Amino acid sequence: MVHMRRLILLLFFTILLFPLTAQVSLLSIAEEGRGRIRWEPFREIGLIAGPGARLTFSLGVPFLLKDYSEVVAIDPIKRIEGDLMVTDETAEIIIALLLPAYMRDPSWQWISTIIIDPGHGGRDAGAVGRRVVDDETVRLLEKDIVLSIGLEVADRLKEVYPEKQIILTRDSDVYLKLEDRTELANDYLEKLAGNEAIVFVSIHANASLNTRATGFEVWYLPPEERRNLINPDSVGEGNEDIIPILNTMKEEEFTVESIILARSILSGLDDGVGTLSPNRGLKKQSWAVVRNAKMPAVLIELGFITNGKEAALLSDPLYLKKLSQGIYNGVQSFVDHFDNTSGFTE
């Protein structure tokens, strides 16, 4: 009986004292570690994905798994009044795991947002191709091809980067004006913290009066093009004279990053497509979507829908997967390099 009373008292004081030591929201800790939480309430298990690790945990269990393999001891994660809560000690462990040491520097640059822009949509079909299937002429629409690839690329990026925002300008057959696309991207830019970066990838299919034209290419904004990238309010009153200097520096930075991104995607496409379609190389042109996006931006042309052979390829789901994989590989290579070198400065 005495033993039972002691056990009851011990449980009572444990329950009573726990809220005093476990008052840190797991959501806020994940955000501090640049991570995102996926929580399954019925199974009471969760995933925290950050730049440095993926952490899986179960409610009330005194350990978590780093990258599905390494066991890390923690104070059990509890649910208090509907919120997931952790002790200060566990919070420190989680942040250290999510963020490599070099990324805990608040000045460290990293890409937090990737905008994928499938061109055209809705009443704007984009380029139109035709091919004969079983003696019937079938129309091939650019808007359908690029949406299929855009969705696939976004899904792959979400899987490998659950801590980042992967944004589609459209995820269905809807019409968007060019300014709607860049306005969406620029709105996300305004919400970023000072050490966060964003990139814009627009996906299209080509067309030409020359039906023999074939191949894929990636475009970036010409270096001589100038945009207004610096918000005058950000430099403070009396410092207006330095705005043109800062704007030029930012433009040159974005130009370099756009070229690196374009080259990386082109290489990914080249590896994925092989000899099925020729590599037409890097191009520079002041397309509206890359000109109006206030960030590193590229435009991909997947191939010529007006070429009979390429139209057949672009209607083949297996070929579209090769293109999607190539774009994904290129973007991932760029993002990983950017994140690991603080914007190519290390």
pLDDT averaged over every residue in the chain: 88
Angle CA 165–36–194, to nearest 5: 55
Domain 18-103, CATH among 3.40.50.2300, 3.20.20.60, 1.10.10.10, 3.30.457.10: 3.30.457.10
Give the pLDDT band (50/70/90) at residue 123.
Answer: very high
Q: How is the chain split into domains, by residue range?
A: 18-103, 106-340
Mean pLDDT along residues 119-147: 89
The model's pLDDT over 153-162, given as tens digits with 9 standing for 90+, comes to 999 999 998 8
For residue 255 the two structure tokens come to: 């130009």
Q: Which residue has the higher pLDDT, 6 or 49?
A: 49
Residue 343's pLDDT is 87
Cα separation values, 25 from 85, 86, 217, Å: 5, 6, 47
Q: Which residues contact 20 (CB under 8 A, 6 or more apart)?
A: none
The model's pLDDT over 73-107, given as tens digits with 9 standing for 90+, comes to 999 999 988 889 999 999 999 999 988 776 777 78
Architecture of domain 106-340: 3-Layer(aba) Sandwich (3.40)
Residue 17's pLDDT is 47
**Residue holding tokens 């997947």?**
302
Q: Which residues of 100-122 are buried (b: 16+ CB within 10 A; e: fewer)?
A: eeebeeeebbbbbbbbbbbbbbe
Indicate the pTM of the whole model: 0.81
